[in-house]
Structure 1
Amino acid sequence: MSLTMTGSASRPVATQASDSLRRLTDEFRATMGVAERLHLDVILDCAIPAGRGLGSSAACARAVVFALADLFGREVTQSMAFDLVQTAESVAHGRASGVDATAVGACAPLLFQEGEAQELPIDCDGLFIIADSGVMGRTKDAVELLREGFLRHSGARERFVRRATELTDEARHALADDRPEELGRRLTDYHELLRAAGLSTDRIDALVAAALTAGSFGAKITGGGMGGCVIALTRAEQAREVTRQLREAGAVQTWAVPLRGRVEHAL
C-alpha cells in the first residue's frame, strides 16, 4: 500500500498515518475475508488538521474503511467500522479510548462515560466556531502534568472529577432545554477548570478571550490540552464577528458547525 497525504502533513504525522492505515488494511482483509492481494494507492485529502483534538486520524481511518468496503464489495456494520477504526487508532495513539472512533460515526452529540456512548438530545440553535491555534496538542504531556498535580495535592483528583462531572451534567441539560446562554457559560467554566490545571496555553487563552469579547455565549479548549483548538458557541448572526476576532487573536483557520440543521452564514 502506498499513501499520499494532501496539504502540509509533517513527516511524523505522515509516517504515523501510513503505519495506522497499513494495520487497518490488513485487519480489514482478515475480517472481511479478502483474499486478493492488490496494491492499494491511498490518497488522503483531509481538511481536519492533525493533533488538534478534532479526531482527524479517526475520521481518515473511517473514510478508508468504507472506501475499502466499496472497493471489495463488502458490507460494513457500525460495530465493524468501530473495531477497524480502533485498530488504526491504537497504532496512532497507543491505548485508544474509543471516543474518536465512536464520535466520527455519530450524527449527534455523545456523552462518553466508562466506555459507553449515549446520544444526547439537542433543542438549542446556534453555531460552534472552531478556531485552530496552529499548535499541535500535547496529550501525553498534559496527562502527565495533570497526574503530577493530583499527586501533589491531596483530594485534587476528586475535586477535579467532581467539578468536571457537574459542568458536563449542567451542559447536557442546557443543550436539551434550549438554554444556549447556560451552555456557553458551562463551556467557559470548563475551560477555566482546565486552565487552572495548567492544560491551556497563552495562545489558547487569547482565543477564548477573543471569542467572549466578540459576544460568544462561551468558549473552551478542545482536545488533549496544551495546544489544539478552541470551540466557541455563538448566535448565527454573531458568527462573522466572532470569526473575525478569533483570526485577529491568532487563529490560523476557523470552521462553523451548526448545533443542528444547516449553516446559514458562510464564513
Structure 2
Amino acid sequence: MTATDTRAAAAARAIFAERFGAEPIGTWSAPGRVNLIGEHTDYNDGFVLPFAIQHRTHVALAPRADGALRVRVASTFEDTTAELALAELAEVFPGRRDEVPEWARYPLGVAWALLAASGTDPSIVPGVDLAFASDVPVGAGLSSSAAIEGATAVALADAWGISLDRVALAKVGRRAENEAVGAPTGIMDQMAALLGRADAAIFLDCRSLDAQVIDLGFADAGLELVVIDTGVKHSHATGGYGERRAACERGAAALGVPALRDVTLDDMPRLAEIVDDVTFRRVRHVVTEDQRVLDTVRTIREQGPTAIGDLLVASHASMRDDFEISVPELDTAVEAALSAGAVGARMTGGGFGGAAIALVARDRVQAVTDATTAAFASAGFAAPTIFSVTPSAGAARD
C-alpha cells in the first residue's frame, strides 16, 4: 500500500473501533478511476478506456459481535451510522430507499444486490459491521462511489463466502448505484474498480462486458496523467445526467436501434431529419466518442501514448459543445494545460463539475500546474487541486 493507502486503511480501522467498540477482522479496498477517454458511452452499450488509480476507499469489517442479523455502516465522512436488518434489505431497496441516508445507500445497496445476485438467503449469513475511509476525492469525477461499491462487494463476498467473479461483482455495484442510490450510471466505473491493473487501462465493451488490458506505457514515454480537480461539485443523482441519458434513449428509439452503439456517422443525416437539434447533438457526441475510444486504443498500440493528444482534445470539445456537460472551470483547466504544453487534455467523468485530465511530459508537469493555477486565479475561480495519478490495481483485501 502507498502511504496514503496506509493512512486511509488505518482511518477505517479507527472509525470501526470508535463506532462499534470492537476490532475489525481486516480491511478491503477498491480504487477510484480516471477515464482516459469514452464519456457517456457506457450506458449506450459503447466503448470506454478507464484505469484504476492509486487513490482508494478502504472498508474495515467484522461479523456483528452481538450475533444480530443486521448490517451496520459507518464512515469518516459522515457522523451518522446507518443500519438495516439483512431481511429488510429487499424490502427497503429500491422502493423505500429514501428512508436510508444517501451515503449509506451505496454500501447497504451493495449488500442487497450481492445477496440477490448470488441467490443467498439473508438468514444464513452473519450480520456485519462496516466502516469506511477514503482518499478518493469526492465530487471530482474520479468515481468515489464505485470505490465504495467495489470495496464493499469484495469485503462482503469474502465475509459471506459468496463466490462471484469480478464482472458479476461489478454488476452488483452498478445495480446498487442504479436502484439503491437512484443514479442512472453505466458499468464503466465498477469494472475499472474491480478489474484495474498496474500500468494499464481497461478497454471495455459495455455491451458484451469483454475487457482487454491495454498497456499504457506512460512511464516509458516520460508522461504523467495530471488531474485538475476544479472543486465544482456534482451529483449524478440530480437532473443533468439523467436528462442526457434520456436524450440518448430518444435518439436510439428514433433510429429503431437498441442503443447508440448501433449508430454510425452515416446515420447522422437521417437522424437530423427526425429529431430536434439537442437530441441530435447528444447522439453525435456518443457516436463520435465511441470512435475516439477505438482510435485511442489503436493509436496507443501502434504509435504509443504521446500520439493520442488530439483525440483527448476532440473529446473535450464534443462534451463541451454537443453534450454540454462542461463548465467554465473545466474549459479553463483544459485550455491552460494545453497552453502550457500538455500533450492533450479533456474533462473526465460525468460532467457539470469535477475534474479535467491532462497528459503531460514529466518535465512539463510543474509548468502545467502553474499555468492552470494562474488561469483560475485570473478568472476569479477558487484554486484547483492538481495531482498526478498512476494506473493501479483493482479491488482487493489489503
TM-score, length-scaled by structure 1: 0.80
Q: What does 1:2-81 align with in structure 2 at a 5 Å threshold?
A: 2-7=72-77, 15-29=101-115, 31=118, 32=120, 35-38=124-127, 40-81=128-169
> What corresponds to 2:371 in structure 1?
245
Q: Deviations over 1:109-155 (max 9, x none)?
A: 32334353432533532221112111123554155368399623685
Q: What does 1:1-267 align with in structure 2 at a 5 Å threshold?
A: 1-7=71-77, 15-29=101-115, 31=118, 32=120, 35-38=124-127, 40-90=128-178, 91-106=180-195, 107=197, 108-114=201-207, 116-122=209-215, 124-125=217-218, 126-137=223-234, 139=236, 140-142=239-241, 144=243, 147=247, 151-152=276-277, 156=281, 159-197=284-322, 198-248=324-374, 249=376, 250=382, 252-258=384-390
Instruction: Determine if contact 1:191/1:221 at 8 Å carries over to the other structure.
Output: yes
Instruction: Measure the CA separation in 2 of the matches of 1:73 and 1:134.
Output: 40
Aligned partner of residue 194 in structure 2, secondary structure: coil
Q: How much does 1:176 deviate?
A: 1.6
Instruction: Measure the CA separation in 1 of the matches of 2:135 and 2:114.
Output: 25
What amino acid does structure 2 have at the position aligned with 1:133? T
Return closer, same or farther for 1:200/1:83 CA change in 2, 3 Å cut-off.
Answer: closer
Q: How much does 1:206 deviate?
A: 0.9
Return closer, same or farther for 1:46/1:217 CA change in 2, 3 Å cut-off.
Answer: same
The range that moved more, 203-212 or 162-171, is: 162-171
Instruction: Measure the CA separation in 2 of the matches of 1:103 and 1:259.
Output: 10
Structure 2 unpaired stretches of 5+:
1-70, 81-97, 251-271, 377-381, 394-398
What amino acid does structure 2 have at the position aligned with 1:41? D
How many pairs align? 258
The range that moved more, 139-148 or 191-200, is: 139-148
What amino acid does structure 2 have at the position aligned with 1:121? I
What amino acid does structure 2 have at the position aligned with 1:201? V
TM-score, length-scaled by structure 2: 0.56
Return closer, same or farther for 1:42/1:243 CA change in 2, 3 Å cut-off.
Answer: farther
What amino acid does structure 2 have at the position aligned with 1:112? D
Return closer, same or farther for 1:214/1:260 CA change in 2, 3 Å cut-off.
Answer: farther
Instruction: Determine if contact 2:140/2:355 at 8 Å carries over to the other structure.
Output: yes
Q: How much does 1:183 deviate?
A: 0.7
Return closer, same or farther for 1:187/1:24 CA change in 2, 3 Å cut-off.
Answer: same
Return closer, same or farther for 1:16/1:138 CA change in 2, 3 Å cut-off.
Answer: closer
Instruction: Determine if contact 1:180/1:217 at 8 Å carries over to the other structure.
Output: no
The range that moved more, 228-237 or 131-140, is: 131-140
Return closer, same or farther for 1:84/1:77 CA change in 2, 3 Å cut-off.
Answer: same
Instruction: Measure the CA separation in 2 of the matches of 1:207 and 1:65.
Output: 35
> What corresponds to 2:56 in structure 1?
none
Q: How much does 1:36 deviate?
A: 4.0
Instruction: Measure the CA separation in 2 of the matches of 1:9 and 1:226.
Output: 27
Aligned partner of residue 45 in structure 1, secondary structure: strand
Give RMSD over aligned pairs.
3.3
Q: Deviations over 1:10-43 (max 9, x none)?
A: 9x9x9223123223223434535562442x3322
Structure 1 unpaired stretches of 5+:
262-267
What amino acid does structure 2 have at the position aligned with 1:5? S
Instruction: Measure the CA separation in 1 of the matches of 2:321 and 2:194.
Output: 33
What amino acid does structure 2 have at the position aligned with 1:58? A
Q: Which has the higher contact order (CA 8 A, sep 6+)?
A: 2
What amino acid does structure 2 have at the position aligned with 1:3? V
Instruction: Measure the CA separation in 2 of the matches of 1:123 and 1:23.
Output: 34
Instruction: Identify the structure with the greater strand proportion.
Output: 2
Instruction: Measure the CA separation in 1 of the matches of 2:190 and 2:392.
Output: 21
